[in-house]
């Protein structure tokens, strides 16, 4: 394995009935973070919190060979039309059960018991890793800084998700 980080091709999806490009702080925070870490932004989109529109967009990206990571923000709570987990889970070949658990553990330090209201999920679909994050900017920064920054870095040891999505590296069934 090389000591140089291999930048990944990442798509960002904001799920919101109210956000626009001008008001999408969480999506923009993810874009800034991934670019600062040496990754490439493939595409950034905003879709309403509609189960089928979310599923269609994520399915489109996981079908693209060049998209290695999908980050979604929004729709993971219990209010209104939150439907991201229901939209995305059926696409997973395998779920990363520990992601939501770890996120809530880390988030506990910042927001206490309110972290239990996050239904963030992650999984693999067609050799693409998908992370569904809460819609708050703070939660996106927490997830990025505490989990994703290392797990999307091909140099992180003892293991990382980057090497599972880079062609010719690790295998994920």
User: Which domains are delineated in the chain?
Assistant: 9-165 (3.40.980.10)
- Parallel, antiparallel or unpaired: strands 69-73 and 40-47: unpaired
CA distance 50 to 68: 24
DSSP state of 5: P
Closest CA to 119 of 107, 97, 134, 130: 134
DSSP state of 39: -
Is 153 in contact with 162 (CB distance < 8 Å)?
yes
pLDDT for 14-71, tens place per residue?
999 999 999 999 999 999 999 999 999 999 999 999 999 999 999 999 999 999 999 9
DSSP state of 13: E
pTM across the whole model: 0.94
Give backbone dihedrals phi and psi of 4, rounded to 5 degrees, phi first.
-90, 135
pLDDT for 71-80, tens place per residue?
999 989 888 7
């Amino acid at each position: 394995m090389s000591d140089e980080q291999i930048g990944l091709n990442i798509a960002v999806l904001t799920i919101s009935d109210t956000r626009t490009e001008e008001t999408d702080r969480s999506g923009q925070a993810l874009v800034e973070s991934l670019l600062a870490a040496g990754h490439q932004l493939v595409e950034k989109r905003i879709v309403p919190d509609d189960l089928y529109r979310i599923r269609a967009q994520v399915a489109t990206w996981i079908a693209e060979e060049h998209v290695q990571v999908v980050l979604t923000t929004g729709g993971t709570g219990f209010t209104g039309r939150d439907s991201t987990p229901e939209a995305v889970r059926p696409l997973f070949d395998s779920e990363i059960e520990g992601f939501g658990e770890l996120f809530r553990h880390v988030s506990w330090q910042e927001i206490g018991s309110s972290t239990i209201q996050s239904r963030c999920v992650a999984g693999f679909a067609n050799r693409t890793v998908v992370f569904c994050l809460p819609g708050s900017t703070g939660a996106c920064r927490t997830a990025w800084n505490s989990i994703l920054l290392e797990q999307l870095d091909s140099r992180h040891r003892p293991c990382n998700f980057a090497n599972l999505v880079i062609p010719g590296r690790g295998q994920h069934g």
